Structure 1
Amino acid sequence: RDIKGISHRTASLLAKNLNMKDKLLADLNDEEISHLETGLKNISAIVPLWMLNHRNDQFTGSNLHLVGTDMEIALKNDVEFMQKTKTYKGIRHTQGQPVRGQRTRTSFRKGKSVGVVKKKEAPATAAKGDAGKKVAPKGKTAPPKK
């Protein structure tokens, strides 16, 4: 349905600069599809720098706009590189913890939930007929009656 790496804003800006009308991808003919593909390859010349999704690549230093599986592979490689160099973000990724500073006391809990265990209530010590009797403390026996 959607092309990964192309948001609504990028798609509308691309269509406006390529003088294309809003159409579904299935409704385009071969000539329009090839025109769209060339526009996607040269998208860095069309959209402003801040709209690119992979700016200042850590290996090449270039500004790219990745689409589809290229974007997924680049993201996976970036995370693996952070884990290998043991940066703070890489360590957090390895541990499965949140990376961007969210609180962890109540959120991001995984595993079984541990509920609160209530203490068993003591049986009623004073029943209606036993109101006057004293009960010996546990562990000690009452003195024998004479």
Structure 2
Amino acid sequence: MSLVLPERFIHILRVMNTNIDGNAKVPYALTAIKGVGRRFSHAVCRKADISIHKRAGELTAEETDKLINVMTNPKQYKIPDWFLNRRRDIKDGTTTQVLSTILDSKLREDLERLKKIRAHRGLRHYWGQFACERPAHENYWQKGPHCRCVEEKVISYLHKAVMK
């Protein structure tokens, strides 16, 4: 089965400072934007009345603008608060969907705030350790040049060399 391309097919779309593959279907193409996952992209397509079976390169300029409008203002299109990725912001208390480069700046602000108040998670980020309280020994024995299996082989080799 071959794909018949329409006459105005765009192979690479530029949406919200992100290159989007025009060959992918719209919901999966939108996931290339930071802050947009599969579920949110499906909800955006439903609210914008765009078929999820359509390719991203087949979108018109009006449909692209409608998608951007729904993504930036999800509350106006009655997408529930629990669906958004930034609930009850520390500074202003609002619930929003943070996208693209704003997501990076918000994450940096949060980490700086955690470091400033000397929270445990902020200090772990500062030190470059795991911040999710994972035990340190989990990967210690399995990875790296000093893993347990390598050390045992070296010890057994040295032991055999000494015994000769």
Q: TM-score normalized by structure 2?
A: 0.65
CA contact (8 A) 1:4 1:68 kept: yes
- Equivalent of 2:69 in 10, 28, 38: 38
Partner of 1:14: 44
Q: Which has the higher helix share?
A: 2
The percent identity for this pair of structures is 24
* RMSD over equivalenced CA pairs, Å: 2.4
Partner of 1:113: 146
Give runs of aligned pairs for residues 73-88 of structure 1, distance below 5 A: 73-88=105-120
Partner of 2:93: 61
Count of aligned pairs: 124
CA contact (8 A) 1:97 1:108 kept: no
Deviates more, 1:39-48 or 1:96-105: 39-48
**Aligned equivalents of 1:78 and 1:86: distance in 2?**
12
Q: Are residues 97 and 108 of structure 1, via their aligned partners in 2, closer, same or farther at CA, if it must alter by over 3 Å?
A: farther
Q: Are residues 108 and 42 of structure 1, via their aligned partners in 2, closer, same or farther at CA, if it must alter by over 3 Å?
A: farther
Q: Which has the higher strand share?
A: 2
Question: What code does the residue aligned with 2:62 have?
Answer: E
Structure 1: 5+ residue stretches without partners: 125-146
CA contact (8 A) 1:54 1:63 kept: yes
Structure 2: 5+ residue stretches without partners: 1-19, 21-31
